[in-house]
Amino acid sequence: MKELVRYLLENMYLDFQGEISLDMVRQLLRGDDSREARQLLKKVVEDRGVDELLITLADCLKDNIRTGVSEQVVREQLSLYSES
């Protein structure tokens, strides 16, 4: 059982349901004037969309499946992405 659990955790992946676009990100960040929000929006615009963001975020969050994916963890990963 231990090996099966380990295997499943190592091969689990995250995906995001629903559509999210650059315009939707702009709209969701519209009321947020924080440095982090501006930096993330700038990065997404430079990348010409959210595809790279979603792939990177899902890949990075996979490391947190065992310990938990919380709002704080997602915020930290978004900040790291926008700084890259």
- pLDDT the model gives residue 7: 87
Q: What is the pTM of this model?
A: 0.78
Contacts of 55-59 spanning 24+ positions with Cβ under 8 A: 56/81, 57/81, 58/13, 58/14, 58/15, 58/16
- pLDDT of 16 above 90: no
Q: Using CA atoms, how far apart are residues 32 and 8, in angstroms rounded to an integer?
A: 38
Query: What does the pLDDT average to over 55-81?
Result: 90
- Domains of the chain: which residue ranges? 2-83
pLDDT score of 1: 81
Between these two residues, 15 and 26, which has the higher pLDDT value?
26
- Structure confidence at residue 34 (pLDDT): 94
Q: How confident is the model at residue 66 (pLDDT cuts 50, 70, 90)?
A: confident
